[in-house]
Structure 1
């Protein structure tokens, strides 16, 4: 902990040395303060002149739906988004896809700082509980979008900006809770401006829930704190936030057989044995992780048209999963067989812990320059990641051989270095026509060395990996925006993106069978209309992939979905958005609709064939033409009808997701059914005078008690050959979502 604070202090020191001498109160106004706080994300955000598909979400919109659920569930009504939850409640392990693109292809930043894990390229929202309470606003870009920092946006990006420092003192207490033992408490305090130049904000949150799924509980703690200095032309901010989580593992999913036997809340994770009375006994498998982020940001305005932003950042993470595993081969854990009652035991039960100890840090700079008809942005970044992966065995059933304390069965080290630079230009050719150009260069060096958690049957030992990969990508983007008048705008663009494989793509592929990088060419064509009472948009997209890594329905043993390269594939679709103030200040309707086609031109599937006794016979090769990409529903729709009057608000939300296949074979027995879910949110601001504001809220989820699953995977699939007949089978595992449930909230502002 001391190391973290020392590094954070060193990071902010050079910025503090540049602080200007105190200036008069007249030189500091609220507008300039806000502008200096927002400029750090300008370089990577889209504007009305940018020819890309995007949605802005403001703090007020997030706050209304923030009952403690993770950010993916607060974005469910944005176009083309599908949210998923392991525990069935949206709290804990959750994720989302955009246009069918899975989470590790979605670039996510906070204050322009990469949030994606350098190796998995995913964001684990469970490590950032209640983060929505500290977000000022966010932007979701669909498609390649604009150049950004960190992992390549390969279908979408989410750009979040944390809270502005308040100019006046404030406090807030948030309490919410309800079904499944869910309880959230959060406290926020802000100093307002101190001595004309300084301000401090802080938040503490704690969330607990039993979860919908058995033993899918969460115990989540988080914090957010920032201190800022504001001069006439310079703003300095030091921000730190983080979380600590203990989450019951629920990523096994549920088979149809177990659902019929035990019910849809059954969780097989941690099953130790079934006693003579038929009662199952469990070990509480858990994920335990702590992560802390530090941002030191300097923004300096040389003039109203030239603004420089510099950011130093550091993230530290440490944690492990603890799992009871039954009937495991000892050799797969670098253990020797043992003899019990003259019998050689090669399999037994054990408890394993998989650890990750990692550090990530870097520097980011951007310059925004407005001159005449030109808006220019230049940016550069450099990041370094170091991660130690290792596994320990803490218990082996009836093991009678010597075992060292904290015995390690694997350990490897990963290092990743990334450098990037971009230049963007908006040229206002005429009052109506704007041209956009964007060029990014990325270079990545990635090494993994050591022993992995995979057993090599050929070598007869734990697998050794010695990976050393270098990637260099050039990503150009260009487009036009034409404004017919203040209300009507059309745009067209083409953008290129490249993406390197992630850690799992390498470690699960097998030595010498490494995947290749992916390339995406994204074509976007759209129209926007905006007036005081009505906003609408229509967008067409065609995303052409080369060597796309697609989800193939397999799952790693720590719950990560696996992928494989396909030479040629595409996603194309139509997106519609609507915001209609039907009755001023009374009734509003917001809606989105996506219809898409997601295809692999030619796909080769290899499937195992077994005999009647399930002895392996051979691999069956099948070539499929124009088959659907896994986890890519053809229709996604969302609607919110909001009634507001005199402090009262009622919002009816609906979302529909069509069927989606769990692998790329397009077989009906490997499919997740469509679902249509409805929620109702009620809110009322009490007319009180003893504090600034008191608000009550109720969130009624899944009003019609639909029994559905938002996600699933294929545990096993193949063919059985018996009596000369070849029959297919598929063992699917679903993630059941909670039926009707309710949450209530109390918010006090003072």
Structure 2
């Protein structure tokens, strides 16, 4: 690996060899922990649009909700939850791009599923409790590992090494029978060199939506070896989740009369009564193993090598009523002279996958240059198969017989080199070159018994460049350009889509900082070619369906600030205004292919705004009012009135109180979060579909439209206490 990494680094620095001879006593000494994410994060003054959250900021609202909800008040972020209250399956959109287009890394290792490209934090419940810090980069951002960022990239750094031993017990309770319990510990540095730390967590909730229960368990364990210039960590973490599904949503009539209704698992018994299958659940486990080695050679040079293995496996179980034999590749049968072609049955759809990754980076830094280069390799192997557990009539399957089986093998190699050159105290320049080489093979059959045998190779070149200008101590300006490519995912292959997407992202920003005001303003123009937009429709397991939109763009302005009004009051507002359009979008309506002109991109509100108003009456007491407004958006791409999702404005109230100087403990933290304090009945997500009716009136084709909605919780609360030893 060194034969690959070192030439890249040398080729980037040879023009500035003399820089190594400069006086080093003003060079900042970087923390070894930061080297883990050096290759994927940017500095505060870089020409990349970004936001940071620290462990202390996350702690104030960490009561068991998933990581997307921790990001809810950052610019351009929209969150939603199947169960309605932030526990279980939760989702994030940034600048209108869904979670499959947000590149997520954990200690620099990709977290997005290689095939679906999705991010499922339900598989890592209570992971916030083990996050040291995170950075959300909006737009293309800097080069990262894994599938390219088409809306944002999110990188998380897990717990740092603690020099002192500690213990911690946290418990929280709330609406819908929600409860979270965890324990954390660290041995501190034993003999000033070795630390062992860990966490165990369990979260349970009945959910706001009927039967949308969650039973979540997770763990985190790390062993660290530290010397002055060396940090080696072995980390293992993972989770087990069992959630009753709530992915169907409800129609407008049900939304008005019974907004918590959940049709998942519904069937009619022999007496004609509506029943619900008890085990209509998603059951999945995921385990991660990481070996991380950071080495600092001197004040200029440092390196990082990471090894990763992730094992995921689990199933989704369904009761299916009156299923056609043909759906399972079987012929009708005859019983007592009667032809039987339908049956009730119970099935499971399985995923079983292995993900291996190797990542190596080297960094050089002095007073003028900050240069990083690296290489990344990953290999994913996934099995997809379905089992039959029960059939009302014999259709040729015994218990746990497989009715389909398919494989997906994906490998990736990427190399990058990036450099920041500080020309003087005012000007700095940034350059970033990345090559990604992806091969993806599928074989076997899909869950619809369609043969899928594909072998596609993609080669991407992703250049990025930017400049920052420090006008004075208070004002900084920046501009950047970045290109990204993204390969299709497995479900796109099933739709016959093999063409990769391309994005050119232009960012222009102004940062202002004074004693009481920090202001970030940036404009962006994201120009897409062959963007895979969500059609609004979902498949039979709730996964969104995509289609190529041709040419499209996002043009917007984001502003966020932190304003200190007094020693006790701080305001943190943000707003994102955007226009998100498909150019010359074609749609077949009533049997006629029509150019609709420029249409709105699905799930892309033109206004997203947030605010945090903090009041600190005492040094150890903080009260906060958190507000979020999301403008109206379309669930499809044809601007149909029936696909419009109404805007909403919600407010949460947060209390954080820490009691210190207590016998036998370091402190006790009391936290409370009241969500949606004004009891707004709102919907943050939905789906939209169309189909052509060519049978009601022979010879006439009529396009029928329909929509479904995912209602979110009305007023609800979470309260908790954390005891630190």
User: TM-score over 0.5 for the alignment?
Assistant: yes
Alignment CA distance shift 1:409-1:402 (3 Å): closer
Instruction: Provide the residue aligned with 2:586 in structure 1.
Output: 604
Alignment partner for residue 654 of structure 2, among 673, 681, 684?
681
Q: CA deviation at 1:372?
A: 4.6
Q: CA deviation at 1:718?
A: 4.6
Instruction: Provide the residue aligned with 1:704 in structure 2.
Output: 678
- Structure 1 residue 627 and structure 2 residue 610: aligned? no
Alignment CA distance shift 1:356-1:278 (3 Å): closer
Deviations 1:206-230 (A, max 9, x none): 0000011111100000000101001
Q: Quote the Cα distance in structure 2 between the aligned partners of 1:402 and 1:111.
A: 48
Alignment partner for residue 89 of structure 2, among 88, 93, 96?
93
Q: Quote the Cα distance in structure 2 between the aligned partners of 1:626 and 1:274.
A: 49
- Structure 1 residue 472 and structure 2 residue 459: aligned? yes
Q: Quote the Cα distance in structure 1 between the aligned partners of 2:322 and 2:92.
A: 34
Q: CA deviation at 1:402?
A: 4.4
Instruction: Provide the residue aligned with 2:529 in structure 1.
Output: 546
SS at 1:323's partner residue?
Answer: strand
Alignment partner for residue 736 of structure 1, among 711, 716, 721?
711
Alignment partner for residue 416 of structure 1, among 403, 410, 416?
410
Q: Quote the Cα distance in structure 2 between the aligned partners of 1:75 and 1:404.
A: 47
Q: CA deviation at 1:48?
A: 2.6
Instruction: Provide the residue aligned with 1:236 in structure 2.
Output: 232
Instruction: Provide the residue aligned with 1:335 in structure 2.
Output: 330
Deviations 1:479-521 (A, max 9, x none): 11001122211000111100000111112x1xxx323100000
Alignment CA distance shift 1:343-1:606 (3 Å): farther
Aligned residues: 696
Q: Quote the Cα distance in structure 2 between the aligned partners of 1:719 and 1:632.
A: 29
Residue pairs, 1:247-286, within 5 angstroms: 247-260=243-256, 263-273=258-268, 276=271, 278-286=273-281
Deviations 1:706-736 (A, max 9, x none): 1111100025555687699987542211111
Does the CA contact (< 8 Å) of 2:390 and 2:399 recur in 1? Answer: no
Instruction: Provide the residue aligned with 1:568 in structure 2.
Output: 551
Q: CA deviation at 1:241?
A: 0.5
Deviations 1:335-361 (A, max 9, x none): 332224432222222111000100001
Q: CA deviation at 1:331?
A: 1.3
SS at 1:669's partner residue?
Answer: helix
Q: Quote the Cα distance in structure 2 between the aligned partners of 1:547 and 1:89.
A: 35
Q: Quote the Cα distance in structure 2 between the aligned partners of 1:494 and 1:134.
A: 34
Instruction: Provide the residue aligned with 2:191 in structure 1.
Output: 195
Does the CA contact (< 8 Å) of 2:267 and 2:274 recur in 1? Answer: no
Instruction: Provide the residue aligned with 1:432 in structure 2.
Output: 426
Residue pairs, 1:188-227, within 5 angstroms: 188-227=184-223
Instruction: Provide the residue aligned with 1:163 in structure 2.
Output: 159
Q: Quote the Cα distance in structure 1 between the aligned partners of 2:197 and 2:550.
A: 50
Instruction: Provide the residue aligned with 2:469 in structure 1.
Output: 482
SS at 1:452's partner residue?
Answer: coil
Q: Could you tell which deviates more after superposition, 629-638 or 339-348?
A: 339-348
Deviations 1:164-194 (A, max 9, x none): 0110001111111110010100100010010
Q: CA deviation at 1:400?
A: 3.1
Q: Quote the Cα distance in structure 2 between the aligned partners of 1:227 and 1:531.
A: 41
Deviations 1:363-409 (A, max 9, x none): 10111101452110001110000001100111112x13443331111
Alignment CA distance shift 1:738-1:353 (3 Å): same
Q: Could you tell which deviates more after superposition, 238-247 or 524-533?
A: 524-533
Alignment CA distance shift 1:260-1:188 (3 Å): same
Does the CA contact (< 8 Å) of 1:235 and 1:299 recur in 2? Answer: yes
- Structure 1 residue 524 and structure 2 residue 520: aligned? no
SS at 1:100's partner residue?
Answer: coil
Does the CA contact (< 8 Å) of 2:186 and 2:197 recur in 1? Answer: yes
Q: CA deviation at 1:451?
A: 1.4
Alignment partner for residue 648 of structure 1, among 621, 629, 644?
621
Which segments of structure 1 move beyond 4 Å, counting only runs of 4 or more? Answer: 31-34, 274-279, 715-728
Instruction: Provide the residue aligned with 1:14 in structure 2.
Output: none
Deviations 1:252-284 (A, max 9, x none): 1111233456x1111111112167575434343
- Structure 1 residue 664 and structure 2 residue 637: aligned? yes
Instruction: Provide the residue aligned with 1:695 in structure 2.
Output: 669
Q: CA deviation at 1:627?
A: 0.4
Q: CA deviation at 1:301?
A: 0.9
Instruction: Provide the residue aligned with 1:587 in structure 2.
Output: 569
Alignment CA distance shift 1:407-1:606 (3 Å): farther
Q: Quote the Cα distance in structure 2 between the aligned partners of 1:402 and 1:473.
A: 47
SS at 2:122's partner residue?
Answer: helix
Q: Quote the Cα distance in structure 1 between the aligned partners of 2:322 and 2:32.
A: 59
Does the CA contact (< 8 Å) of 1:642 and 1:652 recur in 2? Answer: yes
Q: CA deviation at 1:232?
A: 2.2
Alignment CA distance shift 1:280-1:406 (3 Å): closer
Instruction: Provide the residue aligned with 2:112 in structure 1.
Output: 116
- Structure 1 residue 78 and structure 2 residue 50: aligned? no
Alignment partner for residue 60 of structure 2, among 64, 72, 87?
64
Does the CA contact (< 8 Å) of 1:271 and 1:283 recur in 2? Answer: no
Q: CA deviation at 1:234?
A: 1.1
Instruction: Provide the residue aligned with 2:8 in structure 1.
Output: none
Does the CA contact (< 8 Å) of 2:643 and 2:688 recur in 1? Answer: yes
Does the CA contact (< 8 Å) of 2:660 and 2:666 recur in 1? Answer: no
Q: Quote the Cα distance in structure 1 between the aligned partners of 2:643 and 2:378.
A: 40
Gaps of 5+ in 2: 1-26
Q: Give me the TM-score of the superposition, normalised by structure 1.
A: 0.90
Q: CA deviation at 1:91?
A: 0.6
Instruction: Provide the residue aligned with 2:3 in structure 1.
Output: none
- Structure 1 residue 713 and structure 2 residue 687: aligned? yes
Q: Quote the Cα distance in structure 1 between the aligned partners of 2:207 and 2:221.
A: 29
Instruction: Provide the residue aligned with 1:376 in structure 2.
Output: 371
- Structure 1 residue 299 and structure 2 residue 290: aligned? no
Q: Quote the Cα distance in structure 1 between the aligned partners of 2:547 and 2:698.
A: 34
Instruction: Provide the residue aligned with 2:22 in structure 1.
Output: none
Q: Quote the Cα distance in structure 1 between the aligned partners of 2:254 and 2:346.
A: 23
- The CA RMSD measured in Å over matched residues stands at 1.8
Q: CA deviation at 1:526?
A: 0.4
Q: Give me the TM-score of the superposition, normalised by structure 2.
A: 0.93
Q: Quote the Cα distance in structure 1 between the aligned partners of 2:529 and 2:627.
A: 35
Q: Quote the Cα distance in structure 1 between the aligned partners of 2:597 and 2:311.
A: 45
Does the CA contact (< 8 Å) of 1:287 and 1:322 recur in 2? Answer: yes
SS at 2:59's partner residue?
Answer: helix
Alignment CA distance shift 1:352-1:233 (3 Å): same
Alignment CA distance shift 1:674-1:452 (3 Å): same
Does the CA contact (< 8 Å) of 1:291 and 1:316 recur in 2? Answer: yes
Instruction: Provide the residue aligned with 1:12 in structure 2.
Output: none
Alignment CA distance shift 1:674-1:294 (3 Å): same
Does the CA contact (< 8 Å) of 2:388 and 2:398 recur in 1? Answer: no
SS at 1:136's partner residue?
Answer: strand
Instruction: Provide the residue aligned with 2:18 in structure 1.
Output: none
